[in-house]
């Protein structure tokens, strides 16, 4: 009697092989970069809009895709209240601040909740990546929703994403979800460009730094998962004010300290991709 394992049939071997997905780039774009965290309320949309504007100011042609179907933020942050034009086959992105933009919020009443199941979300994402006339973009920045669900899977499996930037506050409760997000991207083969510590600290009128959400958590997480730490963005009321009035701070005040931080992020991305 032997312990020899039985031979697997060719059909069984084929079935056991991991499924390979054909990833296609978004037409009209060179590089697709996702802004993610897997956690809500950490400033992904603010980061995505200001990064897109910083890249634009550095001389790049940029698009901004709002992939958060349930909670689109780009219409408010860019003060866009019009609907995109269509020839019946494709949608034209709405151009604001020289950025080509698309969001589910352009197509629906912003006060109407999107009560959709997963397949409808996936269909909407495929429309935005396959049926929008993105025009000769160097970068398309994708504002991802919270979580590790249908939208993330659709992008990771169907779209050729060139990288993801993880945004988080240093608070441990936020980092719990961030760590899940990192594992998801690693498992799905999406390159993580690095982690950003958003709302890292607040500088009071007394000149002192106050670590409202804790200190060092994002940098520690980057080290734990062997990812790059891209830097800190302090908490500043002007950032929220500018976003609420529909003119993000990089566009409203390019000389502001926060705007210069985003310019630095843009330079790092350009150096990485446009060598």
pLDDT tens digit sequence for 250-260: 999 999 999 99
The tokens describing 257, both together, are 């300290």
What topology does CATH give the domain 24-273?
Rossmann fold (3.40.50)
- DSSP percent split of the chain into helix, strand, coil, nearest 5: 40, 20, 40
Report pLDDT for 9: 60
- Looking at residue 150, its pLDDT comes to 87
pLDDT tens profile 94-122: 999 999 999 999 998 877 788 888 889 99
Residues of the chain under the 50 pLDDT cut:
1, 15-16, 18
**Closest C-alpha among 68, 62, 67, 38 to residue 50:** 62
Per-residue model confidence (pLDDT) at position 146: 87
Residue 20: what pLDDT?
A: 56
Phi-psi map region of 53: left, alpha, beta (phi>0 left; psi -120 to 50 alpha):
alpha
Return the half-sphere exposure (C-beta side, CA atoms, 13 A cut-off) of residue 176: 2
pTM score: 0.88
CA 29 – CA 275 distance, rounded (Å): 17
The domain spans of the chain are 24-273
Q: Which two tokens stand for residue 241?
A: 């004010």
| pLDDT number for residue 157 | 86
Collapsing DSSP to helix, strand or coil, 175 comes out as: helix
pLDDT at 3: 53
CB 26 within 8 A of CB 159: yes
Q: How many CB atoms lie within 10 A of CB 22?
A: 7
SS3 labels along 4-39: CCCCCCHHHHHHHCCCCCCCECCCCEEEEEEEECCC
Q: Which tokens go with 272? A: 């990485």
DSSP strand E in 160-236: where? 163-168, 192-198, 202-203, 209-210, 229-233
Instruction: Give the per-residue pLDDT at 23.
Output: 80
Query: Which tokens sit at 112?
Result: 């109407």
């Amino acid at each position: 009697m032997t312990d020899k394992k039985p031979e697997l049939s060719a059909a069984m071997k084929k079935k056991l092989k991991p499924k390979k997905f054909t990833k296609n780039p978004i037409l009209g774009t060179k590089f697709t970069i996702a802004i993610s965290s897997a956690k809500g309320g950490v400033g992904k949309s603010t980061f995505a809009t200001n990064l897109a504007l910083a890249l634009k100011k550095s001389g790049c042609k940029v698009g901004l895709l709002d992939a958060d179907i349930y909670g689109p933020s780009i219409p408010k942050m860019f003060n866009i209240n019009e609907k995109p034009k269509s020839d019946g086959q494709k949608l034209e992105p709405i151009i604001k601040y020289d950025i080509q933009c698309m969001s589910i919020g352009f197509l629906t009443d912003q006060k109407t909740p999107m009560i959709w199941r997963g397949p409808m979300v996936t269909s909407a994402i495929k429309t935005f990546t396959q049926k929008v006339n993105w025009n000769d973009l160097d970068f398309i920045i994708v504002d991802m929703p919270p979580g590790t669900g249908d939208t993330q899977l659709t992008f990771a499996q169907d779209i050729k994403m060139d990288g993801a930037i993880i945004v988080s506050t240093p608070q441990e409760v936020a980092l719990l979800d961030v760590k899940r997000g990192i594992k998801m991207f690693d498992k799905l083969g999406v390159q993580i460009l690095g982690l950003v510590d958003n709302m890292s600290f607040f500088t009071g009128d007394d000149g002192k730094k106050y670590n409202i959400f804790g200190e060092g958590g994002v940098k520690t997480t980057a080290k734990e998962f062997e990812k790059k730490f891209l830097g800190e963005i302090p908490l500043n009321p002007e950032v929220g004010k500018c976003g609420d009035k529909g003119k993000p701070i990089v566009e409203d005040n390019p000389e502001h300290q926060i705007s210069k931080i985003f310019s630095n992020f843009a330079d790092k991305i350009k150096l990485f991709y446009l060598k």
